């Protein structure tokens, strides 16, 4: 039983998809498997996660949330190496759901405090919505109980406290990677794989999530070491009636990865 399920008692969600999982250490397998609640770890701080409590930041256009339309705007390619002066605000039109959770420190985005992962995220503004997209970011691991990840097709509901609608690739602890479909307050695990070799504190890893199509939605996730070695690969088709078929924003975040440093963010569109 994963940490999130054990801590929160989340009921298993019934569904079935064809999953193709590949890992550098175990080869490839295909199976029909039930989808259950994810193992995602996050720490709770006992306080409110309402953005109003911390002055949630918006982009320069004051959009305040991911877009509501179902077609992609002209987001196009985007990169950010965060090579700016230290600042509590990330800047460059990034949206922050909680203003106290991330900041610019030594040319990277550092996680400054922990909380519900649904409220610990950073994403691009409404003018940059994309449907078929690949999102990449590096994360320097500071703790083995964290859950850093990258996100795509983030929907309008994500802007609400405690809510998260989109697709995610993340590691949960040092040994496992997951691709989930977030359905507001009800996450659904689509696929998982062992990370081999396991993540190590102080090392930097590249997380990449590619999301294409609508029927089905194809998701491809990888985690790589800084030397280019792939240590986890997940490929899964989401054919559920609840699959996300609208364009959305991209971003990154973590619930419990205190001290993690995110860098070299990239978005590619297709």
The secondary structure element, H or E, covering residue 27 is: strand 27-34
Task: Report the domain count for the chain.
Answer: 1
In a domain, 229, yes or no: yes
Mark the ranges of the chain whose per-residue pLDDT is less than 50.
1-38, 41-72
Q: Please list, residue by residue across 152-174, b when 16 or more beta carbons sit within 10 angstroms of its beta carbon and e when fewer do.
A: bbbbbbbbbbebbbbbbbbbbbb
In a domain, 102, yes or no: no
In a domain, 7, yes or no: no
Q: In the chain, how long is the greatest CA-to-CA distance?
A: 49
CB 264 within 8 A of CB 136: yes
In a domain, 107, yes or no: no
In a domain, 237, yes or no: yes
Instruction: Return the pLDDT at 65.
Output: 42
3-class SS of residue 54: helix
CB 262 within 8 A of CB 109: yes
pLDDT single digits (tens) 142-155: 999 999 999 999 99
In angstroms, the CA 226 to CA 211 distance is 23
Instruction: Return the pLDDT at 196.
Output: 98
For every residue of 103-134, DSSP letters joined together read EE-SSSEEE-S---TTTSEEE--GGG-BSSEE
Instruction: Return the pLDDT at 76.
Output: 84
Claim: this prediction has a pTM higher than 0.75: yes
3-class SS of residue 157: helix
pLDDT single digits (tens) 157-204: 898 999 999 999 999 999 999 999 999 998 999 999 999 999 999 999
In a domain, 104, yes or no: no
Q: How many CB atoms lie within 10 A of CB 31?
A: 9
Instruction: Return the pLDDT at 156.
Output: 85
In a domain, 130, yes or no: yes
Tokens of 28: 């490839």
Instruction: Return the pLDDT at 40.
Output: 60
**Sign of the CA dihedral running 125, 42, 171, 105:** positive
In a domain, 151, yes or no: yes
DSSP state of 228: S
Specify the CATH number for the domain of residue 128: 2.60.120.560
Alpha helices in the chain (DSSP H): 3-8, 51-54
Q: The domain containing residue 154 runs over which residues?
A: 12-36+123-252+262-269
């Amino acid at each position: 039983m994963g940490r999130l399920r054990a801590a929160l008692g989340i009921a298993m969600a019934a569904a079935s998809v064809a999953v193709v999982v590949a890992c550098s250490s175990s080869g490839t397998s295909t199976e029909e498997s039930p989808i259950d609640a994810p193992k995602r770890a996050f720490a709770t701080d006992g306080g409110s996660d309402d953005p109003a409590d911390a002055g949630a930041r918006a982009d320069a256009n004051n959009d305040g949330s991911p877009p509501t339309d179902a077609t992609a705007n002209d987001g196009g390619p985007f990169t950010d190496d965060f090579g700016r002066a230290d600042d509590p605000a990330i800047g460059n039109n990034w949206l922050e759901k909680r203003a106290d959770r991330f900041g610019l420190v030594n040319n990277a985005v550092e996680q400054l405090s922990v909380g519900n992962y649904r409220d610990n995220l950073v994403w691009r503004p409404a003018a940059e919505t994309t449907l078929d997209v690949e999102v990449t970011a590096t994360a320097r691991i500071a703790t083995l109980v964290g859950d850093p990840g990258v996100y795509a097709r983030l929907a309008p509901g994500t802007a609400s406290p405690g809510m998260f609608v989109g697709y995610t690739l993340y590691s949960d602890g040092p040994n496992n990677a997951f691709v989930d479909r977030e359905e507001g307050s009800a996450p659904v695990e689509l696929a998982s794989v062992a990370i081999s070799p396991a993540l190590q504190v102080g090392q930097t890893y590249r997380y990449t999530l590619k999301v294409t199509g609508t029927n089905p939605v194809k998701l491809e996730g990888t985690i790589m070491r800084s030397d280019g070695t792939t240590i986890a690969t997940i490929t899964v088709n989401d054919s559920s009636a609840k699959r996300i078929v609208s364009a959305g924003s991209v971003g990154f975040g973590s619930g419990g990865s205190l001290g993690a440093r995110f860098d070299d963010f990239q978005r590619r569109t297709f």
